Amino acid sequence: MTNTPFTEKHIALGAKMAEFAGFNMPISYTGINDEHAAVRHSAGVFDVSHMGEFIIKGPAALSLIQKITTNDASKLTAGKAQYSCMPNTNGGIIDDLLVYCLEENNAYMLVVNAGNIDKDWNWITSQNTENAEMHNISAKTCLLAIQGPNATKILQPLTNIDILNLKYYTFAKGSFAGVDNVLISATGYTGAGGVEIYFEDKDNAPEIIWNAIFEAGKSQGIKPIGLGARDTLRLEMGFCLYGNDIDETTSPIEAGLGWVTKFTKEFNSKAIFEKQKIQGIEKKLVGFELLEKGIARHGYEINDKDGNLIGHVTSGTQSPSLGKAIGMGYVKKEFANTDTQIFIKIRNNPVKAIVVKMPFA
């Protein structure tokens, strides 16, 4: 397993550690429900340094990004970011990612999922027919997500960037806790507000920044948060998790990601996705709430009232905010309408559920 620059901090804080995407990561510290509540009501700090970061530069940078992603990166100006998908050529999703415009038409940073770093890098390299300049900076880049309604208020005294007024999906570079060249982005995976900060692992920067954040947030009860609460937080917002809700066999149209699939440009699998949008799809990702006791787990069958198989669960949990069991899964399109009754097969028992709109919270 690979450690992040903060692994010793997690262990010292008593975190429950486990392998995730090849990294030694904190799953929880004081318990998922407690950590979840801290982010929803105040602020929490996630070590997400396992994520991958690629720099793509030069005259061919934008055309490469346009070819390999579904969203329209030509709309980005310096200081703006966008959520996107990286499709394969068969109508599936290689990864979902963030695209940061560092310099308009010339320099971009792609942020990809930890488990897909090598796969994504090799795919982008294979698509780089115009020889855009590429750099994999994943191993030397730290990433902390400080999320929650109090996050920016806590962090503002530590930086010369006006993060209190940083608009959603924009970013700026500046000084943070005395460390220069820190990128602060108004993004996150929780729906609770806050920022994500990127900085290079050098000159004791991880130690300085980690300590400064927790000192600044002490009076607000800021807490370290593990991947367990990260998952419950994102699921309450209906955010997809790669490998669960989307993968190389699902399309962005099926996954409800048509809003990041722009047909005004050319990109891999465009014709497939256009056909799906025009002719319709056979399956669709939906959210559901259980009406009876039970937890839906990844891979569980979804049935109709007669016990016929109509789909599978992709994600499920007991929502700490709502106090009820929720989940996501693909179902046949005729069962995808809101308020449709479905049944989750849990230990061979059909548990009644209902399709609901997302986000859940």
**Predicted confidence band of residue 15 (pLDDT cuts 50, 70, 90):** very high
**Predicted confidence band of residue 352 (pLDDT cuts 50, 70, 90):** very high
pLDDT at 155: 98
Q: Strand, coil or helix: what is 290?
A: strand
**Predicted confidence band of residue 43 (pLDDT cuts 50, 70, 90):** very high
pLDDT at 114: 98
215's enclosing H/E stretch is helix 205-216
Provide the total of helices (H) and of strands (E) in the chain, helices listed first: 8, 19
pLDDT at 193: 97
**What would the mean pLDDT of 286-315 be, rounded to a whole number?**
98
**What would the mean pLDDT of 292-301 be, rounded to a whole number?**
97
0.75 exceeded by pTM: yes
Domains of the chain: 7-49+139-236 (3.30.1360.120), 282-356 (2.40.30.110)
pLDDT at 46: 98
* Contacts of residue 45, Cβ cutoff 8 Å, sequence gap at least 6: 144, 145, 146, 210, 213, 214, 217, 222, 223, 224, 225
**Predicted confidence band of residue 226 (pLDDT cuts 50, 70, 90):** very high
pLDDT at 104: 96
**Predicted confidence band of residue 308 (pLDDT cuts 50, 70, 90):** very high
Convert the pLDDT of each residue in 61-90 to its tens digit.
999 999 999 999 999 999 999 999 999 999
> How many residues in the chain?
361
Q: Strand, coil or helix: what is 297?
A: coil
* Contacts of residue 354, Cβ cutoff 8 Å, sequence gap at least 6: 288, 289, 291, 339, 340, 341, 342
